[in-house]
Amino acid sequence: MGPSRARRDEDKEARRRELLDAARALFEATSFAEVKMADVAARTRLAKGTVFLYFPTKEALFLALLDDLLTAWFAKLNGQLAGGDGAWTAEALARTVAASLEGEETFTRLLALMQTVLEQNVTVEQTRRFKERVLVAMGATAVLLQQRLPFLTAEDAGQLIRHVHALMTGLRQMADIAPVAREVLTLPHMAPLRVDFTAELTAAITTLLRGLQAR
């Protein structure tokens, strides 16, 4: 007697969620490469083949997960940006962005994998849907940024978001390293290579904003 079969659309959606949750839990404990599709299946008490009924490839599974996390993060950030009103200081804004990423390690780790791994083995359609969603959320963020930082032009706002994205992925990779690298960086003189994600991101965004303001 296997698991109940998902025949209605809502049941299928629920099963899809279970798979995403399993993938997430496994990814949080290890790394993309170490998560096996067989593990994802086992965690949901399904057969491996079943996982592939819901996601055509491993990359598609994780891109779908990233899609969810990204949507959630943008909603959170945009909510906080819309919250207060009037102009903000560069530092206040930088802190808000950095704070919105606290506890979102999974999101930034996946984001860092997006171009190099996740979009490698995925359909054009899935990529398009994903990027379409990013575009919408980004647009909303750009508008909010201009409200909070009057010195920003529309073009500035777009560029700023791209630069923050680059910093997020770059810093996450530097902060969230393989065990081997972690061991090496423990050495005292390696301090200049150690990265505190939140602190560095806050500093970098603050500096970027001050640079735009000073122009």
Residues that bind a copy of itself (CB under 8 A): 31, 33, 112-117, 119-120, 122-124, 127-128, 131, 134-135, 138-139, 158-159, 162-163, 165-171, 173-174, 176-178, 180-181, 183-185, 187, 189-190, 192-193, 195, 200, 203-204, 206-215
| For DNA, the closer CB: 45 or 163 | 45
Q: How far apart are CA 54 and CA 19, in angstroms?
A: 8
| For a copy of itself, the closer CB: 97 or 112 | 112
Residue 75 binds which of a copy of itself, DNA, none (CB < 5-8 A, kind-dependent): none
CA angle 207, 136, 28 (to 5 degrees): 70
C-alpha closest to that of 70 among 160, 19, 132: 132
Site for DNA in 17-76 (CB under 7 A): 35-38, 45-50, 52-53, 56-59
What six digits make up the tokens of 138? Answer: 């980004």
Site for DNA in 139-178 (CB under 7 A): none
| For a copy of itself, the closer CB: 50 or 173 | 173
The region of 6-14, 71-79, 182-190, 198-206 touching DNA under the rule CB under 7 A is: 6-14
Q: How far apart are CA 129 and CA 132, in angstroms?
A: 5
What six digits make up the tokens of 119? Answer: 């979009």
Give Cα separations from 195 to 68, 198, 201 (angstroms).
Answer: 27, 9, 10
| For DNA, the closer CB: 60 or 175 | 60
Report which DSSP code applies to 121: S
Q: How far apart are CA 188 and CA 181, in angstroms?
A: 14
Q: Is residue 121 a contact residue for DNA (CB under 7 A)?
A: yes
What six digits make up the tokens of 29? Answer: 């404990």
Place of tokens 């491996």: 48
CA angle 127, 130, 132 (to 5 degrees): 105
Residue 6 binds which of a copy of itself, DNA, none (CB < 5-8 A, kind-dependent): DNA
Residue 57 binds which of DNA, a copy of itself, none (CB < 5-8 A, kind-dependent): DNA
The minimum distance between CB 136 and DNA, in angstroms, equals 28
Do residues 130 and 68 lie in contact, with contact meaning Cβ atoms separated by under 8 Å? no
Return residues touching DNA (CB under 7 A).
Answer: 1-7, 12, 15, 35-38, 45-50, 52-53, 56-59, 121
